[in-house]
Amino acid sequence: MHVGPSIGNYDVLSAAVQPNIGFASPEFNSAMKSSLEGLRYITGAADSYTPFILPGSGTVAMESVMSFIPRNSRILVVSNGVFGDRWEAIMSRYPVAIKVLKAEAGKSVSLEDIDHEVSSRRYFAVAMTQVETSTGVKLDVESVAKTVRNKVDLIIVDGVASIGGENMQAARWGIDVVLTASQKALGAQAGAGLLVASRSAIEKLREESISGYFADLRNWSDLMNKFLAGGGGYFATPPIGTVFSIQKSMALIRSETIEARIKRHEICSQAFRAGISHMGLEILASEKLRSNTVTGVIVDGIDIPDFLQRCMKKGVEFGAGVHPAFRDRYFRVGHMGWVKPEHIITALNVIESSLEEIGKEVGHGSALAAEEVFSKHH
């Protein structure tokens, strides 16, 4: 139950192993087509959006958005933590001007601050993060998009820790670019960055490029359209196994439906938090900002790495804290991908017993508190 790669599914992970199938095969072309179409489905992108699957990871997808941005543009970054700050780290390598609005750990930049900023200066783009993996904070991207839509040319959302587990309606909310990665709430093999781009974003590819070579979407957009039309081609070798894994994940998402999948994430996250509250532990994200996919749990007075090792020995892996303001005081739990009630129950039992071992009293019965949440939804 790390924050990514997330909880596995044997069929999805093993779909990556295919003997003697290369990137020029009809099987691969078909896997790309259904994965690209699936990507539109889970992001609420209309057919006018171009979907991309790139070799690499979420960071490659983030960096590829520089393809849409003209030289000397001004960009507003809404950062709720470490991954919001990654936008600044990437964009500062390019000839653009960046302004970053930062939130305290566990909180979110306010709509008022965003509105004030886009109303007082002309920004070309706004970049944000739907679920901030360092804290588990969910940004209300629908409201942010509504606030900035008529004032900027391009709205970009990092959905690496959210797509497949949180609602995203790119077309309806007017978001130009939504990106994600294969190993998080899609629960597929690591190895790909994925994004959808609106027609208006794609039109910006006609302008001079400031992006490098590999992640310049000018090199990839015709190829993606060829896959969508049933054909194929080459720009750089794709992550073949990962694409087969994504294809299987998308097929399972379609049969579950994205709405039911998001609901499953919501219920599992609520049940997990009920168990944590039963232990008397604090959750890093403020109450109204908690996500379906990631929870940061604060435990003062213990050695967190030692605690995580003890959990690992019992067969459950969690993530260490990474936000500098809270680094040694919390750990992170990913409840995404193929998460089921039994994962939540096991995680709570393992947390409870590992804390007991090191003399941190949290009582018993947290799994029952989670069970109560599950039983309400049966």
Contact footprint for ligand PMP (CB under 6 A): 4, 57-59, 83, 86, 129, 133, 158, 160-161, 181
- Rounded to whole angstroms, the Cα distance separating 62 from 194 reads 9
Of 173, 118, 116, 176, the residue nearest 145 (C-alpha): 173
Measured from the CB atom, the residue of 204 and 332 that comes closer to ligand PMP is: 332
Distances (CA, A) of 223 to 69, 131, 230: 21, 30, 11
Measured from the CB atom, the residue of 65 and 253 that comes closer to ligand PMP is: 65
Phi and psi, residue 77, nearest 5°: -110, 125
- Rounded to whole angstroms, the Cα distance separating 311 from 305 reads 10
**Nearest distance in Å: CB 192, ligand PMP:** 9
According to DSSP, residue 323 is labeled -
Distances (CA, A) of 182 to 110, 195, 199: 30, 11, 24
Place of tokens 């896959």: 227
Measured from the CB atom, the residue of 15 and 185 that comes closer to ligand PMP is: 185
**Nearest distance in Å: CB 245, ligand PMP:** 15
Q: Which residue is nearest to ligand PMP (CB)?
A: 58
**Nearest distance in Å: CB 179, ligand PMP:** 8
**Nearest distance in Å: CB 133, ligand PMP:** 3
**Nearest distance in Å: CB 250, ligand PMP:** 18
Measured from the CB atom, the residue of 137 and 347 that comes closer to ligand PMP is: 137
Listed in order, strand segments (DSSP E) in 16-149 are: 50-55, 74-79, 97-102, 125-129, 131-132, 137-138
C-beta of residue 141 within 8 angstroms of C-beta of residue 109: no
Measured from the CB atom, the residue of 180 and 366 that comes closer to ligand PMP is: 180
**Nearest distance in Å: CB 301, ligand PMP:** 28
Measured from the CB atom, the residue of 133 and 147 that comes closer to ligand PMP is: 133
Structure tokens at 142: 């629908």
